[in-house]
């Protein structure tokens, strides 16, 4: 039998659950933490720096896609259980790109190049990887990357970043200074076909007591 006390208790419980749901939604959307770096704020920073270009990615906007076949010799099974490394061939979709949010930018040798691959494995499984042609990433945190984007925004008159803003950023981020020193030790090759691409993440491998980072090496035509 429903009593007045029971009805009030039930209503309070429902209201409490609703408040938790709303609170979670507001927190996730950044309403309760206006200074927090959210995925949407991070993505919006690219538009703030490069402008809006409908129909293009916000980063690595300029690129070309290709299709082909990945032929595995089976050697990878010595260090990984991933099915992509078993002997055989699988269809692959790739995209070659230039970093930045300008789809019509001029191809320059020092612009970071990207290589994204999607392996279409049996039974509907997909294996994806994204690589760039620099050995280390300039930033160690998303916040550092977010801040560097604004500091590197090109000035209208010179087409280059404001030197004072960039200097101020580097003074706060010595890890980026060290990363740039490493990157400069690996001058870029003339084009995509002879570039070495590096994965940004490390993966544990079995049968060895170390972590490996993936690399894609040019092996010639």
Pairing of strands 62-72, 113-120: unpaired
Number of residues that make up the chain: 221
Helix 163-172 and helix 174-184, axial crossing angle in degrees, nearest 10:
110
Degrees, nearest 5: CA angle 152-48-60: 70
Judge whether 105 and 115 are in contact, CB under 8 Å. no
Which has the closest alpha carbon to 43: 30, 24, 26, 25? 30
3-state secondary structure of 185: coil
Which residue among 53, 60, 173, 206 is the active-site one?
60
Confirm whether 206 is a catalytic residue: no
In angstroms, the CA 69 to CA 89 distance is: 6
In angstroms, the CA 94 to CA 167 distance is: 36
| DSSP string for residues in 54-86 | TTS-SSS-EEEEEEEEEEE-SGGGGT---GGGS
Catalytic residues: 60
């Amino acid at each position: 039998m429903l009593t007045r006390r029971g009805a009030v208790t039930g209503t309070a419980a429902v209201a409490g659950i609703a408040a938790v749901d709303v609170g979670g939604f507001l927190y996730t959307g950044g309403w309760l933490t206006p200074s927090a770096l959210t995925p949407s704020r991070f993505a919006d920073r690219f538009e703030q720096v490069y402008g809006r270009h409908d129909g293009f990615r916000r980063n690595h906007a300029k690129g070309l896609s290709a299709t082909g076949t990945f032929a595995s010799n089976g050697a990878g099974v010595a260090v990984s259980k991933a099915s992509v490394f078993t002997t055989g061939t699988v269809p692959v979709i790739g995209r070659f790109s230039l970093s930045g949010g300008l789809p019509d930018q001029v191809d320059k040798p020092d612009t970071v190049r990207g290589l994204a691959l999607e392996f279409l494995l049996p039974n509907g499984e997909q294996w994806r990887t994204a690589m760039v042609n620099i050995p280390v990433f300039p930033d160690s945190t998303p916040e550092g990357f977010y801040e560097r984007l604004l500091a590197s925004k090109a000035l209208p008159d010179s087409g280059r970043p404001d030197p004072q803003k960039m200097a101020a950023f580097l003074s706060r981020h010595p890890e980026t200074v060290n990363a740039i020193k490493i990157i400069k030790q690996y001058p870029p090759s003339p084009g995509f076909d002879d570039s070495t691409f590096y994965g940004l993440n490390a993966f544990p491998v079995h049968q060895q007591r170390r972590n490996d980072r993936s690399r894609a090496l040019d092996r010639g035509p």
